[in-house]
Structure 1
Amino acid sequence: MNLIILLLPILAIVLMFRSQKKRQQQMQQMQTALEPGAGVRTIGGLYAQVKAVNDETVELEIAPGVVGYFTKSAIAAVLEPAEYDAIINGRPAEDEPVDAEAVETAEAADTDADAETTDAKPLSFSKDDADKGDAKAEDGAPASK
């Protein structure tokens, strides 16, 4: 019984070190696989394109003509070209079928919503409109401001 109590923490420690080592190896493989033109996501959630890979740093093009320098360890993931394009340009993934009937229904709903909003009164009003529409109290006297 005492042997089990002693072996459980040792087993837990061994498993933790093993999983940590496996993650480090995956990160090392990803960092060595970085190449110019690849789309990446940094640990801060920034999406960029790799312009150059140096010994310890990576040059990332954040926007057209804007290049930043990051350490290799700041790269969280290397993205597939289709995934990177979908995120940056807002295009749907190619493997997702587009339902034409659903698109038409959504467009019709947007048209109906636009028609309703044009009939409604504007949300803001001028000072003159406020003076004309003074509220009356229950006893019929004007409400105080």
Structure 2
Amino acid sequence: MKVHLSSPASFLHHPEQHRLTADTNRKNMEEEICKYIVMGAGGVATVALTPALLAALGFTTTGIAAGSIAAKMMSSFTVFYGGGIPAGGLVATLQSIGMTGLGWFGTGAVAGAGSTVGWMVSKICNVNVTVQDNP
């Protein structure tokens, strides 16, 4: 973006240029606001939806639900590890989150990941579409 600095009274000589600069500044501010809204929404949505998603997969507060995807994961991991689920492994960690919630570190990590995805999605706020007639 090219920035033109001028004296405060120069808009009197070039009112059209001053109007364009004000429009550009407003557009940039709107893009920034859009970006922060989408980033915040991404963080909040991931924190709110993570426990619901884990419960839907079968990682519930009372244990792994029979016949669920979590039960199938546990069965597969048990075979893979030769009869047990390792502490700190994927299934154990997901079950722990399903039973007790994310905790402060998990909430921060999930919110950060959601905000990062929101930041990437916010690039749609900066898309300009110009339609031109063919000559």
TM tier, shorter chain? 0.3 to 0.5
- Structure with the larger strand share: 1
- Structure with the larger helix share: 2
Max radius of gyration: which structure?
1
TM-score (norm 1): 0.31
